[in-house]
Amino acid sequence: MVQVQLGGTLQSYSGGRSSFEIEAGNIGQILDGLGEACPRLRPLLEKGVAVAVDGEIYRGSLLQPVRPDAEVFILPRLAGG
């Protein structure tokens, strides 16, 4: 199980819940599991989010392995230029 923390405005889509335990071995499985655990988050997850694993941000790296003891944060899509 991976402990996943929601950051920013994502908590408003999870009923205020800030963390979830998800059975996953990579980022794609985390996002799938999070969408199943909280269906209101699914559209945002599909649109794109930033995933930080142990302080490193991954975008589009769905097959990136994640250790069960990793620190994982899901953040709203980062925009800017």
Domains of the chain: 2-76 (3.10.20.30)
Q: How big is the chain by its Cα radius of gyration, in Å?
A: 11
| Average pLDDT score over residue span 18-41 | 97
| Average pLDDT score over residue span 23-52 | 96
For 70, how many CA atoms within 13 A lie in the half-sphere containing its CB?
25
Q: Average per-residue pLDDT in the chain?
A: 93
Res 8: pLDDT: 81
- What pTM was estimated for this model as a whole? 0.90
C-alpha 42/C-alpha 78 separation (Å) is 17
Res 81: pLDDT: 54
Res 80: pLDDT: 61
Res 68: pLDDT: 94
Res 78: pLDDT: 67
C-alpha 69/C-alpha 75 separation (Å) is 19
